[in-house]
Amino acid sequence: MGSRAFARRVEQLLRDQGLSMRAVSRKMIYDPAYLCRVLAGKQAPSRQFAEALGHVLNATGELVALATASEQAGPPTFSDAPLRISGTRGAGFAHAIRETSQQLVALDNGPLGVPVAEPAVRAYRIVRKRLEDADYDPRYERDIRAAAAELAEVAGWVLFDAELHSAARRANQEALTLARSSGDTCMERLIQQNAAMCCEWVGNHREALAITQGVLERGRLAPRVEAIFRVREAKAMAGVGRTTEAVRALSAARSLLDDGTRDDDPYWAWWVTPGEVEGHLGHVLQEAGRTAKAIDVFQTVVNRPVTTTVGHAGMSDARLLQCLLREQAWQDADQLLQQVMAAIQTRSSKRVRTTLWRTAEHGRTLTDAPSSLRDALAHLADVTDADLFGF
């Protein structure tokens, strides 16, 4: 509750003083993306940030008090934001859109394994219709379009993760148009990353490479942003057989994360972690036939303590299982399979579940494998192919 109270008060002060977030962030010497993240409730304001912002807005004591309350607050609770996207017109409309996006992301990455593609698309359709009908206060159009771009980006991601690739591509295109029309280059970068990822996943490696290298050649990227684009570049290179260059690009991506998180990281980069990069390295090695090395990398990933929970968690487990079965490492495969089964009910990612299902379907036919392992793989195939809404 504290973060939201802080955000609402700052939005009110900005409105009352006729200031934009970009103008304020320049006076504070803060990245606008960081301010956007705080106002969207995606990052708790630090005392130092509150003091700097309060100095600009002549409200230091008030904002520091709200920030301190935010630090003491528990995890964010769900609000009525999805309802308010139909009933507000100005700054409240933009804020409701951002809160809706935040709640969808929380559900997608939470422990319940909730599929969110349908509610994400439904929410975006409501917002898009209001934009088409100019049903909003024009004074806040730019901020509303920026918020809508983020919601479209969220829809594009969850559609991709649900393996609805044509719909994901359309959502990304709309998100990119909205981000550019609102001047939100921070969100534009995330959408371009998503677009490259979608191309790579369906085999359009040259298009993915063109998108990625176009961004990298323009430069001026924060280290964490450059890191994820190096990952996308690597995956596209691997797809066209340039494995050595792909491994080199992933090494560069990993080194870009050595300094940890920074205040100028864009708010959406929370999931860009060493484990994310190393998981992609394992996949590149796996696809290149360097299975033993891929196993070493994947085992490092799956055994690392979880510090960032993502909805697509489990992909490295699935790919490690593939490698272990290929190498006939039956005992290790059986141990990993027990871990996979323990977590399967929390896996809503269609991509992860499909990868596990294909792995299990193949594994259950391996006549050299112990019968107990083949039975367990058959059970995994049944579970991953089951109706998510069945009892």
Distance between CA atoms of residues 96 and 98, nearest Å: 5
* 114 touches 347 (CB < 8 A): no
What integer pLDDT is reported at residue 263 of this predicted model? 63
Q: Which are the contacts of 17, defined by CB distance < 8 A and separation ≥ 6?
A: 57
What integer pLDDT is reported at residue 7 of this predicted model? 79
What integer pLDDT is reported at residue 78 of this predicted model? 53
Q: b/e per residue, 72-106, with b = 16+ CB within 10 A? A: ebeebeebebbebbeebebbbbbbbbbbbbbbbbe
What integer pLDDT is reported at residue 74 of this predicted model? 41
Residues of the chain with pLDDT under 50: 1, 70, 72-76
What integer pLDDT is reported at residue 26 of this predicted model? 74
What integer pLDDT is reported at residue 31 of this predicted model? 61
The rounded mean pLDDT for the chain is: 88
What integer pLDDT is reported at residue 79 of this predicted model? 57
| DSSP, residue by residue, 270-323 | GG--HHHHHHHHHHHHHHTT-HHHHHHHHHHHHHSPP-S--TTTTHHHHHHHHH
Q: What is the pLDDT of residues 238-285, one digit of tens each?
A: 999 999 999 999 999 999 998 777 666 787 888 899 999 999 999 999
* Amino acid found at 333: A
What integer pLDDT is reported at residue 386 of this predicted model? 79
What integer pLDDT is reported at residue 75 of this predicted model? 41
Burial-class residue 390 by CB neighbours within 10 Å (0-12, 13-18, 19+). Answer: exposed
**Which domains does the chain show, CATH number per domain?**
1-77 (1.10.260.40), 78-183 (no CATH), 187-266 (1.25.40), 284-384 (no CATH)
Q: Cβ atoms within 10 A of the Cβ of 259, count?
A: 9
